[in-house]
Amino acid sequence: MQKIKINNTGEVLYTETLDNGLKILMVPNYKVKNFYLTINTKFGSIHTDFKFNGKNFKLPKGTAHFLEHLLFN
């Protein structure tokens, strides 16, 4: 993992990209007993076009919101 110091905070950001392309970002916080996780994508309300395996795709508006709800099932 790459280690990046965050200026003026005393915190460190760890980052790594997995073999499948998933980018991991982690900022440990030892001051609390709980943790949280977020999933962020480069896909959303105005970003509905993407390329996968060299093929272009365009999805209808609302697809990202629908997928967001499926995440919690």
Question: Which residues does the annotation mark as catalytic?
Answer: 68
Spatial separation of the C-alpha atoms in residues 12 and 6, rounded to whole Å: 6
Contact 40, 52 (CB under 8 A): no
Spatial separation of the C-alpha atoms in residues 33 and 64, rounded to whole Å: 32
